[in-house]
Amino acid sequence: MSKSIEQLGHSKINIGLAITGKRDDGYHNIDSIFQSIRLADSIYFAKHHSVVFSGVAPELPQYIQDLIPYDERNLALKALREVQKYTGCKAGAAIHLMKRVPAAAGLGGGSADAAAMLLGLNKFWDLRLTMDELMTLGAKLGSDVPFLLKGGTARGTGRGEKLVYHPSPEPHWLLLVKPEISVSTAVAYGRYNGRSNATSDTITNVLHHLEQNDMYGAFTNSANTFEELLFPDYEELITCKEFFTSRGYPTNMTGSGPTMVVLLEKPVQALSLQEEIKKSGHNWLSLITKTCTQEEVQ
């Protein structure tokens, strides 16, 4: 057992997301490009005679902090229970989660924590589980978890758990902007009527641009079915996206929203945009980050 370690849980964005149909099990099939970003939570592991779990999110607004439980509902703690059940390990650990990724934002924050817990426990308890075993455990916890265990750039189909990895483009600066609204993923999926302007052809086109290291082309040619489903009833989402597109910045919603991902050429643009947001009176959370490769994640 290690003395103490820190395990990062990198979050993700979707560069294009198409809902391609409803499944017999009640879930939906999607087709999407998953891309790791540097914005990450940290899980700290230290020796203890039993398992104790705690967490804080001091950098996030209070309304987001209020969404995050640190009990058995937390996906990271559920990941720990899966490891205990699978391995029979009865070791202890003092585990502390430092949240930086906004919850319910389309960034995979909870799933990233589950992935970090699996990776961290495997090291801290010296379990020697293979990546295939970790991926199987991760798939039980959520459809984003398998991707977040490896990170990088991948095309995800099925519920998002069927992954084909691709070389990552060069790192690009991003501004993540989350309006102060909550969107239920279940409600959003419930609005899907079998039709979407975003299709698998859209995602294939996005992938083609990424393979050419053309992030600008990937962003401007992408689409997200959830924008079609949510924009009619959430004017704030339209306002947020147009705030950036009207200034010439390629902008897309990630996941089921509500976070907008703004593509930048250089980080100073993020600072300028943050000032403009403030002057305009919008109460939007904005975070500067960068895309990253699988090597950087691991």
Supply the range of the domain harboring residue 118. 4-166
236, 212: one domain:
yes
DSSP string, 125-171: TT----HHHHHHHHHHH-TTHHHHHH-SEEEEETTTTEEEEEPPPPP
159, 188: one domain:
no
Q: What is the pTM of this model?
A: 0.96
Q: Domain count of the chain?
A: 2
State yes or no: is 144 an active-site residue: yes
Given 166, 201, 229, which residue is the final one in a domain?
A: 166
127, 19: one domain:
yes
297 in a structural domain = no
Cα 202 from Cα 206, distance rounded (Å): 6
Catalytic residue among 31, 41, 113, 144: 144
State yes or no: is 12 an active-site residue: yes
156, 266: one domain:
no
Distances in Å between the Cα of 206 and the Cα atoms of 167, 219, 229 are 13, 7, 21
- The DSSP symbol for 248 reads T
Quick one: CA torsion of 286, 288, 292, 297, rounded to 10 degrees? -80
Mode of pairing for the β-strands spanning 93-98 and 51-56: parallel
Residue 298 has pLDDT above 80, yes or no: no
- CATH code, 142: 3.30.230.10
pLDDT digits 0-9 by tens, 223-237: 999 999 999 999 999
Task: Check residue 186 and give its pLDDT.
Answer: 81
Cα 112 from Cα 287, distance rounded (Å): 17
- CATH code, 259: 3.30.70.890
Residue 15 has pLDDT above 80, yes or no: yes
* Residue 43 · residue 56 · CB < 8 Å: no
224, 159: one domain:
no
Task: Check residue 25 and give its pLDDT.
Answer: 87
pLDDT interval class at 2 (50, 70, 90)? low
Task: Check residue 121 and give its pLDDT.
Answer: 98
Catalytic residue among 12, 78, 178, 241: 12
